[in-house]
Amino acid sequence: MTVISLGGSIVAGEEINLEYILKFREFLQKYSKRYKFYVVVGGGKTARKYIMAGQKLKLNQYILDDMGILATRLNAYLLIGDYSYPKVAENIEEAFVAGKNYNVIVMGGTEPGHTTDAVSLLLAERAGERRVINMTSVGGIYDRDPKVHRDAKLIEYMSYEDAEKLFMERKMNAGLNIPFDLLSLKIAERSRIEIVIIGSEIRELEKVMNGEKYQGTVIGKSHDGHKEEK
């Protein structure tokens, strides 16, 4: 099965992005005839709004995470269809087992303490998958912040070690976000799961599925065929 981690802000920014959701559903409808998918959806602005309100009310971190999880599940519901398992899977085991009977499984978060990126990696680990496709609005890792520097260069391949280093450096450096958290990188590293970071465009996702050249960053082990640093 192909594991896709779909950034919540693509699905729900200020408004719910219905146009995009319709396109994504079309993709799932079409491609699930040939492939099987686990889609893990993030919380986007909905999660952020609730978490910020909860923070102001001094709710504890666990409760804030629980609210975040509910937001991810709300977003995930928008991708349920007649092509999928008819409910949002609530944990990795449920998703894994449902994957035996359905070609598309949609889920959000599972429990407090991590993000949906980590869920997508754990699911890949459980299911023995070698790759997670991560769709974000940034669309890859750049050498500089692409929103500020027009000449920022996309880094096409990066080792787990370098991604971890970059994560630590950039954590200190607001605005230069690496679209991944450390826990996810660690899970990817221990099970040698490649993280393919692409933008939100369905066309790019299709290219990945069809084995065509796509625009994005691959995070993986340093000593394999990708070494040539395209």
Site string for ligand UTP, 27-56 (x = CB under 6 A): ---------------xxx--x---------
Rounded to 5 degrees, what are φ and ψ at 7? -55, 130
Smallest separation, CB 121 to ligand UTP (Å): 11
Distances (CA, A) of 5 to 54, 68, 134, 200: 25, 16, 5, 11
The residue to which tokens 């299911």 are assigned: 127
Pair of tokens at residue 175: 């605005």
Binding mask 99-118 for ligand UTP (x = CB under 6 A): ----------xxxxxxxx--
Between residues 31 and 76, which has the closer beta carbon with respect to ligand UTP?
A: 76
Cβ 230 to ligand UTP shortest distance, Å? 26
By beta-carbon proximity to ligand UTP, the closer residue of 60 and 222 is: 60
Smallest distance from the beta carbon of 92 to ligand UTP, in angstroms? Answer: 10
Q: Give yes or no for residue 200 binding ligand UTP (CB under 6 A).
A: no
Amino acid making up residue 208: V
Q: Under rule CB under 6 A, how many of the chain's residues touch ligand UTP?
A: 21
The angle formed by the CA atoms of residues 227, 228 and 230, to the nearest 5 degrees, is 120
Three-state DSSP at 135 gives strand
Query: DSSP 3-state assignment of 111?
Result: coil
Chain contacts with ligand UTP (rule: CB under 6 A) = 7-9, 42-44, 47, 64-65, 68-69, 72, 109-116, 119
